[in-house]
């Protein structure tokens, strides 16, 4: 791990374009209203009430539809669910006046784990800065990109300072069964907003030296994700985020690849958001920032530690927005192609393996044309099928020729690791349409 001096920390702040110094109590840079985190110099996190106040101010200052073409960003907030403890789960939208046939919709999911708050702070700052940006570059960005933000997807965990929800659910292991209200809210956004890019923000807290770098990134490794979407996700993670973070002063590496060649995580588990979002036809990326101090300066100054964690997440988020603006046509076309291919069905389905696992060790089978549920199986699977938008025929048959066909197989096939109900695979008339072989 490199040694961090005061000069290095200052240089990182300048490159990142993020203030690492505490915000003045009367307002932020350029008249921007500071978050609670900024008001206290990064020593404590923005509270839920402060978040509500900030969003209320941004919405009230936002131009109405009749003035949306004046160059200012329009901010809206909509309720998409309720946590187990009754707290609101809200989706923030920042948009401008589109100049392209289909703006790229970028969804930031900013804090699935309640004890990883830096991503949430970065998202609140990002929303505030986008709303206040009147520059030509800011206007051009929002002409091409619509920004969707789930700033606090686990409010109960945030308040309690716990990784899990109030029900003890690890939200980032809940995107198949979708059994918690928080997971259902995220799934609702994926299903209804159909983001082209999903950027998942996390922090890691492992012994020093386990990971060689303080910032990490990863793409969907699940083999059921369309190859063109995975390729774009690799470009976003490795070439964009993995370049922007070192340029700002932080070494970056691939999540799951530890020291001495150890594989620490980052598999193809379809319950993880980066894989589930890829199966939902999105370019998905995970960003993890080291939560522990990475210098003597940070050990001595909790505010500096907090500000570094937030600043690194902001650098990664802005790299995602830059790629969305620059590669929008390619991203939108790849998402549409993936959905269209799924609607026509066919192809193989993978029940394990990953893009970094030898093919010979992967269980792959022809995709059944449908699955037959029993009434009891339908009762078990109904909530998950509904959350994923999977159509069920009146005779309790689930065809795989639909946008969420791969997820249907992972929910219902007896060979799937996280199946939610018993169902019988039905072959296609005249034989299997798939080209994959059992191996």
Give pLDDT, residue 264: 78
Give pLDDT, residue 265: 83
CA–CA dist 436, 439 (Å, integer): 9
Q: What is the mean pLDDT of residues 45-70?
A: 84
Give pLDDT, residue 433: 41
Q: What is the mean pLDDT of residues 58-65?
A: 84
Q: What strands lie across the sheet with 397-399, from one edge to the other? A: 397-399, 370-373, 423-426
pLDDT per position as a tens digit, 288-335: 999 999 999 999 999 999 999 999 999 999 999 999 999 999 999 999
pLDDT confidence tier of residue 374, bands split at 50, 70 and 90: very high
Give pLDDT, residue 1: 36
Q: What is the mean pLDDT of residues 183-211?
A: 92
Please report the sign of the dihedral spanned by the C-alpha atoms of residue 204, residue 209, residue 214, residue 216: negative
For the chain, the structural domain boundaries read 6-336, 345-426
Q: Does residue 74 have a pLDDT over 60? A: yes
pLDDT confidence tier of residue 188, bands split at 50, 70 and 90: very high
In degrees and rounded to multiples of 5, residue 262 shows phi and psi of: -75, 135
pLDDT per position as a tens digit, 227-273: 999 999 999 999 999 999 999 999 999 999 876 667 778 999 999 99
Q: Does residue 26 have a pLDDT over 50? A: no
pLDDT confidence tier of residue 2, bands split at 50, 70 and 90: very low
Cβ neighbours for 224, distance < 8 A, ≥ 6 positions apart = 270, 279, 349, 350, 406, 410
Q: What is the mean pLDDT of residues 46-53?
A: 98
pLDDT per position as a tens digit, 102-158: 999 999 999 999 999 999 999 999 999 999 999 999 999 999 999 999 999 999 999
- Provide the whole-model pTM: 0.91
Q: Does residue 413 have a pLDDT over 80? A: yes
Per DSSP, 263 falls in state B
Cβ neighbours for 278, distance < 8 A, ≥ 6 positions apart = 219, 220, 222, 225, 226, 229, 230, 233, 284
β-pairing, 197-204 vs 283-290, is parallel
Average pLDDT along the chain? 89
Q: Does residue 7 have a pLDDT over 70? A: no
What is the DSSP track for 118-160? HHHHHHHHHHHHHHH--SHHHHHHHHHEEEEEES-S-HHHHHH
> Apex CA 418: angle with CA 386 and CA 222, to 5°?
95
Q: Does residue 9 have a pLDDT over 70? A: no
Give pLDDT, residue 17: 42
- Please give the share of the chain, as a percent, with pLDDT higher than 90: 80
Give pLDDT, residue 260: 62
Long-range contacts of residues 27-33, Cβ cutoff 8 Å, at least 24 apart:
28/128, 30/132, 31/132, 32/128, 32/129, 32/132, 33/57, 33/58, 33/128
CATH superfamily of the 6-336 domain: Zn peptidases (3.40.630.10)
Q: Does residue 25 have a pLDDT over 70? A: no
């Amino acid at each position: 791990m490199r040694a961090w001096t005061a000069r290095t920390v200052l240089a990182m702040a300048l490159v990142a374009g993020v203030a690492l110094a505490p915000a003045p109590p009367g307002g932020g840079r350029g008249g921007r209203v500071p978050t609670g985190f900024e008001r206290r110099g990064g020593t404590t996190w923005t509270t839920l009430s402060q978040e509500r106040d900030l969003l209320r101010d941004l919405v009230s200052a936002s131009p109405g539809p009749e003035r949306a073409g004046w160059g200012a960003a329009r901010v809206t907030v909509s309720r998409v669910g309720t946590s187990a403890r009754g707290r609101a789960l809200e989706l923030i939208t920042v948009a401008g006046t589109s100049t392209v046939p289909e703006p790229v919709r970028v969804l930031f999911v900013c804090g699935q784990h309640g004890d990883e708050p830096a991503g949430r702070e970065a998202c609140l700052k990002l929303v505030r800065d986008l709303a206040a940006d009147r520059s030509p570059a800011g206007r051009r960005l929002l002409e091409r990109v619509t920004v969707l933000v789930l700033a606090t997807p686990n409010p109960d965990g945030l308040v309690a300072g716990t990784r899990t929800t109030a029900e003890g659910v690890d939200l980032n292991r809940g995107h198949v069964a979708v059994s918690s209200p928080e997971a259902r809210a995220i799934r609702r956004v994926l299903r209804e907003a159909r983001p082209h890019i999903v950027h998942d923000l996390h922090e890691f807290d492992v012994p020093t030296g386990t990971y060689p770098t303080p910032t990490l990134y990863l793409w969907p490794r699940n083999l059921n994700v369309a190859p063109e979407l995975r390729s774009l996700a690799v470009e976003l993670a490795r070439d964009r985020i993995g370049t922007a973070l070192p340029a700002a002063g932080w070494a970056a590496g691939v999540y799951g690849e530890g020291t001495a060649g150890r594989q620490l995580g980052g598999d193809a588990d379809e319950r993880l958001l980066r894989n589930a979002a890829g199966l939902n036809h999105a370019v998905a990326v995970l960003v993890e920032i080291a939560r522990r101090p990475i210098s003597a300066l940070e050990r001595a100054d909790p505010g500096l530690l907090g500000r570094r964690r937030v600043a690194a997440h902001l650098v990664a988020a802005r790299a995602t927005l830059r790629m969305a603006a620059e590669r929008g046509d390619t991203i939108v076309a790849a998402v549409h192609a993936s959905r269209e291919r799924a609607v026509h069905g066919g192809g193989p389905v993978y029940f394990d393996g990953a893009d970094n696992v030898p093919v010979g060790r992967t269980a792959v089978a022809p995709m059944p044309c449908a699955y037959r549920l029993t009434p009891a199986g339908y009762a078990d699977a109904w909530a998950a099928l509904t959350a994923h938008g999977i159509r069920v025929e009146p005779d309790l048959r689930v065809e795989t020729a639909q946008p969420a066909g791969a997820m249907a197989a992972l929910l219902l096939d007896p060979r799937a690791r996280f199946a939610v109900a018993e169902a019988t695979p039905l072959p296609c008339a005249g034989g299997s349409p798939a080209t994959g072989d059992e191996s």
